[in-house]
Each structure stands twice: as C-alpha cells, then as structure tokens.
Amino acid sequence: MIDWSILWQAPNGRTLLEALLLTFQIAAISWGLSLISGIGIGLLREAPIAALRVVGTVYVEIFRNIPLLVQLFFVYFIFPRILPGFAKQALFDYGWEVAASIITLSLYSSAKIAELVRSGFNTIGAGLRMAAASSGLTWWQSQRHIFLNLLLRTITPGLASEFVTIFKGSSLAMAVGVAETTYVTRQLGTETFQWLPVNVYASAVYLFCAWAIAGVMLLVEKRVAVPGRIGG
Amino acid sequence: MRKTTSDALSADRRSFLSAGAVGVAALLAPSQAKAADAGEDTLDKIKSSGVFNIGVREAAPPYGFKDASGEYRGFATDIGKAIYDAVNQELGGAIKANYVAVTSQTRIPLLQNGAIDLEAGATVMTIGRSKVVDFSIPHFVTSTSLLVLASSPIKVAADMAGKRIGIPQGGLEAALFRTANEAGTFTSAVKTIGFPDHSQGVTALQTGTIDGYSSDEPILYDVGRDPSQFRIVPMKMNAATQTLLVRPGSSKFKRIVDQTIARLCGTGEWEKLYQRYFGEGGFKMPLPEAGKVLVQMNSWPA
C-alpha cells in the first residue's frame, strides 16, 4: 500500500522541512568557506615564495586525495580528542556532527577549488603577466586587480559544478548522524516501510535544488563571461 | 556578437528546462509500478518457480550473519531454515533454497518485487509497518537498553537527561526517544545521534563523542562483552516484539511460517537456538522473562 501522506503527516512534514533547512545550512556554509579558502590556497600555489607554494601543494594533495567519507570520520572521531575541554563542549553545544560535516566538506572542496584556480592561472597568457609586471604593479596588486578578476570569470562553470557537488555531498553528513534530508528520509523509510514515497521525495529535492543552483550559475556565467572568449 | 550571445543563452535555457522536465518524469515513473506478483500466494510462487528465496541478514549478529566459512547463520536465519524445511516438505521436496542478503533499507523493496519470499531477520512489529507487509507470529521479544563506559556517571535510565546518546540508524530507537522527549520523561531532552553501524557507535562511546549507546539489548551484550570497559543500563521503556516479514495476500504461505515458529517454541527447539546464539553458545545473556512468556504463548497444542 503506497501512502504518500506520510510525507506531510505530523510530525514527518516538519521533520523533513527541518532536514531540508539543515541540508541548505551545511551546503551554504561549506560553499562560503571553501570558496574563500580555495581561492586563498590557489593563490598560495602561485606565490612568489617557494615555501608557500609547497604549503599549497601539500594541502591540495592531502585533502583532494583522501575520500570524503574517510576524512569525515577522521575529523569526527579525532578532533574532539585533541581539543581542550571547553572547546570540545562549545562544539558539542553547537552540534559537533554538523560542524564536523561542514569542516570536512570545506576542506575537500577548497582543495578542488584551489585546483580550479590554478588551472585558471594557466589560461592567463605570458603577455598579460609581463604587461602587469612592466606597469609596476606588485605581485599582490596584479593578482587583486587583474588576474583574480579574469580567472574567476573563466572558471565560473567549474565553480558551478563544484557548488552542485557540495550540495549533494552534504548528504554524506548522515554517516555521522546529522539529520539532513538523506538521513531523515532513510529513517522515515525504515520506520514506515514506505520506501517509494520517501525515495521519490529525496530524489526530487536533490534534483530540483541542484537544478536551481545550476540555473542560477548559468545566469551568473553569462553575466560575467569574459568578452571574446568561448561563451562570451 | 550581441545576437550570438542571446541565441546561445536561449539554446542553453531550452536544454536546461527540458533537462528538468525529463528528470521530473523519471521520478514519477516508479509510482506507476506495481508489485511484480501482487495477488499470487507466495506458496504458489515457490511451487511454480521451484525456488524459495529467503532474505537473511549478513551483518546483524546474533540474528543473522555470515560465518567464517561463508555460510549464513544466526538465530533468525536458522528459523528461516526451519521454515524452508517445512515449505519443502509441503511442496513435495523438490524446492531449492536461495539465501539473499538484505539490509534494513532493502528488505521491503525486495519483498515487494518478489526477490525474496520471506525476510528472516530482526524486524520490530509496528502498526505503521503492518500497513505495508504481513507479520508472522513474533519469534523474539527484546527491549531497548543502554551501553555506557564502566566509569560512566549514568546508573539508571533517568541519568540520560540532557546527555548525548548514540542510536543505530534505521532503528526504532529514534522514535522511542522522540516520544519520551515530547512526553517529558527526562528532566531535560536526550539528544540522539544515529550511527550507520553498531561498531561506529561503540567507537564514538570509547572516544567520548557520546555518553551512551542505546540499542536492542542482545546487540549491546554482543558489542559490550568486556565488563572492564562497558556496563549495560536497563532502560525499561519498551518491549519490542520481532517478526518475520511475509508478502500480503499469502495466507497459505503465512500459515506454514506461523506453524513452524509455534512448533519450534513447543518442542524446545526455540530455547536451543536461544542458547546457541544468545546464551551459553553466544555472549551469555540470560533468557529474559519476556522471552519465556513468548515461548509459552507460542506453544500451541497439537
């Protein structure tokens, strides 16, 4: 007997809505953190000091090459052991499961965004670099005013697909018990045995949201496209 | 230049919108699907196919697990084997047994689409679940307990108030704590965290990420065998009767399942199985009073 009403019956409707908000919360905070740190790490790899480039490379290789789930368990189980008591309590009060998921998603995605930034640098021709240098701009000034501006516009499609990946990746938080959309729908499935409605609901939510994100990014892409390049 | 841009944009937009439409259609397709053999009694299906597909648990000891030699064993698996013997006898002895590993996520879809004819695991009876499948008479009864570290300040169930308690994902513990929190059973609400498997819950307990791990009592006896490390706190909050799952509309088949369980209880076989997996042969959990009552209730006279 397929019973769709389990999706909105009390308390399920409210639980699913809270789970969706939690999914958005994890994805949105992870986006912000990984975009900022990804650009930072990407810049490190182009830095004029060799030691900084090494730091950037090590960061990318560590966090890009360890599977997300393994990283999540590492952060979740190990962090509380090395933190002092008061910090541990503060994290537990905020919700250690959610925090660990955000930290892990941000570490992983920032490494991938850093790679995107590096590939963006490669699209900047030697001519432009020399022009920037010969006009007397410092390293930081030329990054800030010329290169970053250009390369962020170039890598927008890559960032869009990374954003969608982070959104879907938030479902991994269920492995440490975060009651986000995937977790709650699976729980509802095992409690009620109504697997068809809950699976259709979960797929629809992820499909629709990821699709909407891709749509917004498509508009952004058109708006910021560098004139004279493909798609511009 | 300007024109090309807007053309490209509208082409992108078109393909983008149609992608969404196809996705929605794909999602709605399965809701039209019907169970493969709705209406056919499982006994007739087994007779015509010559195969009895038994859904068993692969990693849920002591109810169902794969032993070192790769054979499916366990308390519920062995009951499933007894049911196979009874079905095979009923149908003249030419039926093949096929064991299919199921999880708490796959058991219902597989039963519905006919991939398994019986689920022999540790499924708790609830009214909500009874709307979807048919239950055999109960083959086991258990209750939810709490595992804590030996040094834990939690001595009785009430001490869980305001604590972080791990539970298994996909179990009924979440609903138990939700109801208790809403009813104000604890002086401050218990926070539950669901883990994908018991070993992760125990790891979280050992690393201090949670204050206790709550699950089915026999499972806690199993994972918390070391008394120098762990202690079990009885919660006395529920009784969970466990059942085997049968496809609805299979009264001929269900009759054999029920009769087999009743026969096992009446002949003392049930207690032998209990001792093998839970008692002397397992982790030395004494047979609870509720278990003795279950056996008495299931011991139908011939």
The span from the CA of B217 to the CA of B143, in Å, is 6
Task: Pick A1's closest partner by Cβ from B5, B28, B131.
Answer: B131
Residues 6 or more apart whose CB falls under 8 angstroms from that of B281 comprise B275
CA distance, residue B268 to nearest chain A CA (Å): 33
DSSP B71-105: -EESHHHHHHHHHHHHHHHHTTS-PEEEEEEE-TT
In this prediction, residue A18 has a pLDDT band, given cuts at 50, 70 and 90, of: very high
Distance, CA of B151 to CA of B164 (rounded, Å): 16
Q: What is the ipTM of this complex?
A: 0.75
Higher pLDDT, B46 or B208: B46
Q: Classify residue B64 as exposed, middle or buried by CB count within 10 Å of its CB (0-12, 13-18, 19+).
A: buried
pLDDT of A133 reads 86
Query: Does any CB of chain B come closer than 8 Å to the CB of residue A218?
Result: yes
Residue pair A43/A83 in contact by the 8 Å Cβ criterion:
no
Mutate to test the interface with B, among A96, A97, A193, A203 (most CBs of B within 10 A): A193
Lowest mean pLDDT among A219-223, B86-90, B154-158, B209-213: A219-223
Interface contact A195, partner B, CB < 8 A: yes
Contact residues on chain B for A76, CB-CB shorter than 8 A: 209
Give dist(CA B144, CA B235) in Å, integer: 7
- Give the integer Cα–Cα distance in Å for A217 and A232: 15
pLDDT in tens, B218-245: 989 988 888 899 999 999 999 999 999 9
Q: Which of B40-44, B80-84, B189-193, B206-210 has the lowest mean pLDDT?
A: B206-210
The residue among A151, A166, A163, A162 whose CA lies nearest residue A224 is A151
pTM, two decimals, is 0.82
Chain A residues near residue B200 by CB distance under 8 angstroms: 73
- Which residue in B has a C-alpha nearest to residue A215's C-alpha? B16
Query: Residue B50: is its pLDDT beyond 60?
Result: yes
Question: Which comes out higher in pLDDT, residue A149 or A211?
Answer: A211
Q: Is B135 helix (H, G, I), strand (E, B) or coil?
A: strand
Neighbours of A91 (CB within 10 A): 18
Kindly state the average pLDDT of the residues B96-116: 93
pLDDT digits (tens, 9 = 90+) for A76-90: 988 888 888 888 888
Residue B8 has pLDDT above 70, yes or no: no
- Nearest beta carbon to residue A175 from set B196, B203, B207: B196
Highest mean predicted confidence (pLDDT) among A150-164, B2-16, B146-160:
B146-160
Pick B131's closest partner by Cβ from A3, A81, A96: A3
Chain A residues touching B166 at Cβ < 8 A = 177
Q: Which chain B residue has its CA at the smallest distance from A212's CA?
A: B20
Percent of chain A with pLDDT over 90: 65
Distance from B109 to chain A by nearest Cα, in Å? 7
Residue B23 has pLDDT above 50, yes or no: yes
Q: What is the pLDDT of residues A91-140, one digit of tens each?
A: 888 889 999 999 999 999 999 999 999 999 888 888 888 898 899 998 88
Cβ of A190 within 8 Å of Cβ of B194? The answer is no
Q: Which strand (E) or helix (H) includes residue B242?
A: strand B240-246
Of B27, B105, B200, the CB nearest to A186: B105
CATH 3.30.70.260 fits A4-224, yes or no: no
Determine whether the interchain pair A193/B24 forms a contact, defined as Cβ–Cβ distance below 8 Å: no
Q: Which residues of B touch A156 (CB under 8 A)?
A: none
pLDDT (0 to 100) of residue A22: 96
